[in-house]
A and B are shown apart, each in its own frame.
Chain A
Amino acid sequence: MALTLVSRRDPLASSREQLNRLATVKTCPPFKEKLALAGLHPLHATGITVFQINVGKFCNQTCRHCHVDAGPERVEQMTRQTAELCIEALAQTDIPTVDITGGAPELNPNFRWLVEQARALGRHVMDRCNLTVLLLKPQTGLAEFLASNRVEVVASLPYFQSSQTDAQRGDGVFDKSIQALQTLNRLGYGVEGSGLVLNLVHNPVGAFLPAKQDASQAQFRRELLRRHGVVFNHLYTITNMPISRFLEFLLQSGNYEGYMERLANAFNPAAAAGVMCRYTLSVGWDGTLYDCDFNQMLDLPLANGAPTHISEFDLARLNTRRIVTANHCYGCTAGAGSSCGGAVA
């Protein structure tokens, strides 16, 4: 299994190094200039409908495109105390959706508690699942737990063939992912009328933009059913963000400047107007608040007078906060746009 940037002591493990690379790229203008031309600078939140909690960087995989630099040797994990602060903050609001991510969020010892508490508050809960975690022996009963709590599973599957999937996520991951999807299907996930939602996430396996979401969804639906009898609800296409391990791939493969140019040339004002940071609050494993999971990995917390820690949660101030942007934001505004819920325009 590949190692994380952190464990390799790679300079790109530093968010400062990544931000420096992003700030000095010559093939695209500063993001805020494009935003200004679209009449969106400075960008502000429009109210929070998604409370996203990143419970840590520990993961059983080390995918080549991972923006978190997650892996088995990462130790950052949200504590019960911080998880309790998240639930306390959530209880003060009527934010409808709780989106739990990682790392592999299920491997945090407080994951199931967090799910149960959020469900007890009547919130819709999403689990960003790498699928293979469902097959780990210590996680026996996880799929059943998710089903009994009516948790929406958002599962990563970059392609319907093993070669592409394994190239991005590691040898053998595709076969295990299919096995996990079949388990979820047996529980009713993705099956019409069950109410158990199984959505897939497709990231391109390389330095190019994702295909149109509707077209890809139709292709995945046809091929996964034909080849493996797998069904699902929706496919979300997500653009690879030029940070962390995907940035490393871009630099090593000589694709960095071309990819940034491609993102900037594909800047879509409609996608920029609908970016997820405008309606999402992202909580880090240590309780720090961010506009999105990408800003979180670049150590760009909320600024401009907004609360910066979950212990200072103040919905009114967060609802209209000014968003922190940098050149990586081109990843969310290219083409049809990209968000944790797929295309936006």
Chain B
Amino acid sequence: MDTYYHPHDLSKFAEMGKGNKELWDKFIGYYGAVFAAGALSEREKALIALGVAHAVQCPYCIDAYTQTCLEKGSNVEEMTEAVHVACAIRGGSSLVHGVQMRNVVDKLSM
């Protein structure tokens, strides 16, 4: 193994069912239901998934959901905005913890 991540490993995802088929089947059933059209369209859900993929920095998910977004009819401008949403939440998440920092400063300081 010369790298932890390899693009062709994405197509081996279903091999995770070999260790515990019951859990895999439950996961994949849930997964399929999550991404089916409901109150949100399949296209909107794929854009959310793309943003989350960037937030969790999963190269498999980024590869898969970039393709899925295109195949659901999204364009690169919409997909870029989805990535910015992930970026803003990640950045905002760091920044909002600054309030804790300030709370501690306030407590410790005269």
Contacts and interface: CB of A to CB of B under 8 A. Distances in A.
Interface of B: 11, 41-43, 67, 70-73, 75
Contacts of B42: 212, 215
A229 to B, nearest CB: 21
Contact of B75 (A164, A212, A215): A164
B72 A211 contact: yes
Given A211-B71, A212-B42, 19 more contacts: A164-B75, A204-B70, A204-B71, A208-B67, A208-B70, A208-B71, A209-B71, A210-B71, A211-B43, A211-B72, A211-B73, A212-B72, A215-B41, A215-B42, A215-B43, A215-B72, A216-B73, A219-B73, A261-B11
A215 B73 contact: yes
Interface in A197-233: 204, 206, 208-212, 215-216, 219
26 contacts: A159-B75, A161-B75, A164-B75, A204-B70, A204-B71, A206-B70, A208-B67, A208-B70, A208-B71, A209-B71, A210-B71, A211-B43, A211-B71, A211-B72, A211-B73, A212-B42, A212-B72, A212-B73, A215-B41, A215-B42, A215-B43, A215-B72, A215-B73, A216-B73, A219-B73, A261-B11
A261 B11 CA distance: 10
B6 to A, nearest CB: 14
A344 to B, nearest CB: 17
- Max chain A CB contacts within 10 Å: which of B42, B43, B72? B72
- Max chain B CB contacts within 10 Å: which of A164, A208, A261? A208
Contacts of B75: 159, 161, 164
A208 B41 CA distance: 19
A246 to B, nearest CB: 16
- Max chain A CB contacts within 10 Å: which of B11, B41, B42, B75? B75
Contacts of A216: 73
A206 B75 CA distance: 12
Nearest to B11: A261
A92 to B, nearest CB: 43
Interface string A16-46: 0000000000000000000000000000000
Interface in A162-212: 164, 204, 206, 208-212
A219 B72 CA distance: 11
A11 B34 CA distance: 46
Contacts of A212: 42, 72-73
Nearest to A335: B71
Contacts of A164: 75
Contacts of B41: 215
A183 B42 CA distance: 34
Nearest to B41: A215
A204 B67 CA distance: 12
B76 to A, nearest CB: 8
Contacts of A206: 70
Nearest to A210: B71
- Which 6 residue pairs across A and B have the least CB separation, nearest first? A211-B73, A208-B70, A209-B71, A208-B71, A216-B73, A211-B72
A210 B41 CA distance: 16
- Max chain A CB contacts within 10 Å: which of B11, B41, B73? B73
Nearest to B43: A215
Contacts of A161: 75
A211 B67 CA distance: 11
Nearest to B66: A208
Contacts of B70: 204, 206, 208
A84 B35 CA distance: 53
A211 B42 CA distance: 10
A142 to B, nearest CB: 31
A204 B72 CA distance: 10
A327 to B, nearest CB: 19
